[in-house]
Chains A and B, each alone.
Chain A
Amino acid sequence: MPEKSASTLASEPPATPVIRNPKRPAGTLYRGREGMWGWVLHRITGTAIYFFLLVHILDTSLVRLSPEAYNAVINTYKTPIMGLGEIALVAAIGLHALNGLRIILIDFSSWGTKHQRLMFWIVVGLWLVLLAGFVPRQLMHIFGGAA
């Protein structure tokens, strides 16, 4: 390990150590790169889903008021704009659910922290598969007469 003898070290003027910022944080779960973006997306999708949930409980509660009131409100969910909104909702729920399972594996498995970055991309892959199944079906429901 020592490349220089003690005598040469002592004769050299002490150099100011240069500490560079690492190009990317290494070995962290929440600082930078996939881990951080997974965390950010989890918060954003969670908040969006929460506010939908509040509205969804209120609109479903209209079944207790009258069939007419419930049907009037639920019919607004059948418009093309809300149909596209349902795609956004399923996308947000899918990402939150899959990343939530990733968080559980990170917290409870012995290997989760080591492979959290790989698991983020597995989450993205499964999410794309989920949307590839849902979006065409939903577009048929919105714009086509398909049953």
Chain B
Amino acid sequence: MSVIDAPRSKAAPKRRGINWEKWGWIYMRASGVVLVVLIFGHLFVNLVAGEGVKAIDFAFVAGKWADPFWVVWDTLLLWLALIHGGNGMRTLVNDYANNTTVRRILLAGIFASTAILIILGTLVIYTFDPCPVGAAPELLPSFCPVP
């Protein structure tokens, strides 16, 4: 096998179809810029402002998701971050997993966990009930009707 083509050989036929590797490369950079804003905003509101992490409980989450702004914010965060992370892990597996079987198993695992967590997370955000029936009233946000 020659390392490079002999001079004057015909150009390799152009690969047809979508260049997924290129779009993956572009996605990492485009989503990365957006994630910088989304994640530092997320960290500031949840970890730095007010009492920090000690303020977080069910009522805190319910209060945030009563505002469509944070619903959209968290949905974008879920999709962009998980696909960004999954694609990054795919790159690492392609680089370091030399054994074909091991590589295929790892790639399938990354794909499955990404798909499952995106579906799970999206369902949680959009089927969320801030005032579940039968829950202890003191754990619920203040806007829930008093039973």
Contacts and interface: CB of A to CB of B under 8 A. Distances in A.
A30 interface: no
B36 A97 contact: yes
A121 interface: no
B85 A147 contact: no
Interface stretch (A6-14, A20-28, A47-55): A47-55
A64 B62 CA distance: 11
A108 B33 CA distance: 13
A43 B50 contact: no
A53 to B, nearest CB: 5
A12 to B, nearest CB: 35
Contacts of A43: 92
Interface string B44-68: 0001101111101111011000000
Nearest to A42: B88
The main secondary structure of chain A at its interface with chain B is: helix
A93 interface: yes
B143 to A, nearest CB: 14
B88 to A, nearest CB: 5
Interface in B88-147: 88-89, 92, 113, 117, 120-121, 123-124, 127-129, 132, 135-136, 139-140
Interface string A50-88: 100110011011011011101100100110001100100
Given A97-B36, A101-B32, A141-B53, 13 more contacts: A47-B88, A49-B85, A60-B124, A64-B123, A64-B127, A67-B57, A67-B58, A71-B139, A86-B47, A97-B35, A100-B32, A107-B29, A138-B52
Interface of B: 29, 32-33, 35-36, 39-40, 43, 47-48, 50-54, 56-59, 61-62, 78, 81-82, 85-86, 88-89, 92, 113, 117, 120-121, 123-124, 127-129, 132, 135-136, 139-140
